């Protein structure tokens, strides 16, 4: 049986590995255990578009259809991707973010790894002390028709209960005008039919291209604002994820073109620890929702930009030659 300390170390290592391998993904649209993604659009229609006893808990996110705009980078061209999946329950969250410290639109939290004295086994995860939650199963929702991502609608059929555009469909970047309607209509299968509606967004363009973190100094973020009332902005600042996250700042705000993370929160985050190659992830998104018997399904239309940040006294590295002669590259990708 794992000791509490061993389980904690393993879970924090897994958290760091996940952050390293998927740093540009947004955590606002994943199927998680509870919480409501903030969005500019939405509907409360239940399964088949009819509210009633068959509706599940709107706070439990059980599925999503995501339209992801990824800008050009280096030799890679800009792309539009669509993916969807619907489960029969929420996906377990194995890290509890707690001790919230709110300042303006931003909140600083620190991670805690729950401990279960009786192992949950491979079919469940420890989500709170001595509390296991089973992993959900993905199910078909029938053929899914997508409208608003080009001149003509297209239909997606599930492959291993995952939805993606069929071969031969090439989507423009962006595939819509800002504010234009987008819809996803499921014909129904394991779950009855439902429809998700949302609106197109403009690709996010950050104008604050040089970001430096210093104790006692606020961090201003600026971008070209979106259409008023059409979208929201989500910010995630985790400067220690390559060494096992010590804390994070998450902000949710209007898409006004500017946001300031206060000096108080920046100072507290720096005090928790820093690892190599820190970044801030900024996402513009519009979200529409529908409630089925299992819970809430989201249509998230998002454009994400990940921007590196510098920290006083930190030299990032992947090998010793990246460091000053008196230092070596540590496992957290920092020189010491």
Q: Tens digits of per-residue pLDDT, 222-253?
A: 999 999 999 999 999 999 988 889 999 999 99
Q: Which of 210, 183, 236 is nearest to 24 (CA)?
A: 236
Compute the average pLDDT of residues 276-305.
97
Indicate whether 216 pLDDT > 90.
yes
Q: Give, as one character, the DSSP assignment of residue 76.
A: B
pLDDT for residue 244: 87
321 falls within a domain: no
Instruction: Check whether 195 has a pLDDT greater than 50.
Output: yes
Asked, for residue 302, whether it belongs to a domain, the answer is: yes
The reported pTM is: 0.84
> What pLDDT score was predicted for residue 8?
41
Which of 44-58, 131-145, 175-189, 273-287 bottoms out in mean pLDDT, i.e. has the lowest? 44-58
DSSP SS3 for 33: coil
Residue 266, SS3 per DSSP: helix
Q: What is the mean pLDDT of residues 96-121?
A: 97
pLDDT grade for 4, boundaries at 50, 70 and 90? very low
**The pLDDT value given to residue 27:** 52
- Cα separation, 218 vs 156, whole angstroms: 46
Predicted pLDDT at 156: 98
Q: Which stretches of the chain are DSSP H helices?
A: 4-21, 263-272
Instruction: Kindly tell me if the per-residue pLDDT of 218 is higher than 50.
Output: yes
Give residue for tokens 């509390």.
131
219 forms beta bridges with: 261
Which residues does residue 108 pair with via DSSP β-bridges, in sequence order?
Answer: 101, 249
**Containing domain of residue 26, as a range?**
4-313
Return the pLDDT at 188.
Answer: 97
Any domain includes 336? no
Strand 61-70 to 296-308 pairing: parallel
Q: Is residue 325 part of a domain?
A: no
Residue 33 has pLDDT above 60, yes or no: no
Beta carbons of 74 and 44 less than 8 angstroms apart? no
Higher pLDDT, 15 or 318: 318
pLDDT of 193 over the 80 cut: yes
CA distance 155 to 146: 6
Beta strands in 29-180 (DSSP E): 61-70, 79-86, 96-103, 106-112, 124-128, 131-134, 144-147, 154-156
117-141 average pLDDT score: 97
pLDDT at 221: 98
Nearest alpha carbon to residue 278 among 248, 301, 304: 248
Residue 335 lies in a domain: no
Cα of 146 vs its chain's centroid, Å:
22
Residue 333: inside a domain, yes or no? no
Domain count, the chain: 1
**For the chain, how big is the Rg over CA atoms in Å?**
21
180: pLDDT strictly greater than 50? yes
Instruction: Determine, yes or no, domain membership for 95.
Output: yes
Least confident of 89-98, 189-198, 241-250: 241-250
Residues near 46 by beta carbon (within 8 Å), at least 6 away in sequence = 52, 54, 55, 194, 290, 291, 292
Q: In what order do the strands lie in the sheet with 79-86?
A: 79-86, 61-70, 296-308, 279-291, 232-238, 248-254, 106-112, 96-103
pLDDT over 50 (residue 11): no
Judged against a pLDDT cut of 50, whether residue 255 lies above it is answered with yes
Q: Is residue 8 part of a domain?
A: yes
Q: What percent of the chain has pLDDT over 90?
A: 80
């Amino acid at each position: 049986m794992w000791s509490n300390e061993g389980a904690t170390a393993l879970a924090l290592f897994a958290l760091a590995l996940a952050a390293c391998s998927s740093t540009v993904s947004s955590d606002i649209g994943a199927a998680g255990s509870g919480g409501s993604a903030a969005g500019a659009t939405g509907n409360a229609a239940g399964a088949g578009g009819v509210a009633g006893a068959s509706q599940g808990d709107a706070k439990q996110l059980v599925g999503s259809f995501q339209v992801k705009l990824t800008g050009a980078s280096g030799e890679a061209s800009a792309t539009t991707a669509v993916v969807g999946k619907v489960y029969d329950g929420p996906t377990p969250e194995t890290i509890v973010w707690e001790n919230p410290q709110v300042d303006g639109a931003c909140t600083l939290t620190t991670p805690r790894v729950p401990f279960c004295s009786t192992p949950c086994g491979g079919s469940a995860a420890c989500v709170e002390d001595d509390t296991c939650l089973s992993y959900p199963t993905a199910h078909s929702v029938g053929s899914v028709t997508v409208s608003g991502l080009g001149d003509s609608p297209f239909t997606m059929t599930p492959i291993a209960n995952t939805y993606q555009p069929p071969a031969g469909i090439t989507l423009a970047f962006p595939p819509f005008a800002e504010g234009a309607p987008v819809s996803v209509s499921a014909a129904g299968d394991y779950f009855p039919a439902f429809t998700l509606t949302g609106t197109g967004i403009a690709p996010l363009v950050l104008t604050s291209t040089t970001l430096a973190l210093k104790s006692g100094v606020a961090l201003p973020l600026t971008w070209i604002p979106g259409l008023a009332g059409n979208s929201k902005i989500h910010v995630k600042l985790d400067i220690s994820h390559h060494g096992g996250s010590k804390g994070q700042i998450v902000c949710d705000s209007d898409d006004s073109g500017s946001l300031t993370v206060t000096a108080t929160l920046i100072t507290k985050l720096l005090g928790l620890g820093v690892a190599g190659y820190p970044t801030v992830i900024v996402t513009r998104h519009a979200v529409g929702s529908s409630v089925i018997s299992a819970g809430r399904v989201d249509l998230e239309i998002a454009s994400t930009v990940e921007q590196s940040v510098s920290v006083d006294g930190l030299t990032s590295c992947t090998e010793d030659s990246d460091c000053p002669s008196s230092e070596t590259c540590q496992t957290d990708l920092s020189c010491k």
